[in-house]
Amino acid sequence: METAAALPSEIGVLVADDEPLFVEMIQAMLAAEDGIDVVATVGDGRAAVSLATELDPDVILMDVSMPIMDGIDATARIREHNPNACVLILTGGTTPGDVDRARKAGAAAYITKDRISTDLINEIRSLGSK
């Protein structure tokens, strides 16, 4: 008797960004990918911490600059609650201070928004498979 190969599970992604058009673009890009599911979107850091704790997504896409709580502080709080959380920092620029803060907060990776189209899917798949 043959057994069916296990189907790969979907990678659940939480998107945290306060720019609605950017969030829509990310959702459309990820919807076109097999095996990746956007489980929720939020527009501020505090909501990101809350939903990351509640939903435990495989990967969290976190914008650096958001209202209420910035993405780096939100990353640190998420990682305090779940040290295994995979947070992928998204930013419009590469300010050295932000990169250092993101690393110290426990971010798994850092991508500038101008490289989203070439790097995002590969990073999500890499982080989501860990």
Statement: residue 6 has pLDDT above 60: no
Element (H, E) at 96: helix 96-105
Q: Computed over its alpha carbons, how large is the radius of gyration of the chain?
A: 15
Q: 93-123, pLDDT tens digit by residue?
A: 767 777 888 889 989 988 887 777 777 888 8
- What class does CATH assign to 11-128? alpha beta
From the list 81, 74, 82, the residue with the least C-alpha distance to 90 is 74
Alpha carbon distance, N-terminus to C-terminus of the chain: 31
CA distance 102 to 61: 13
Domain boundaries, the chain: 11-128
Residues 6 or more apart in contact with residue 68 via CB below 8 angstroms: 44, 45, 46, 47
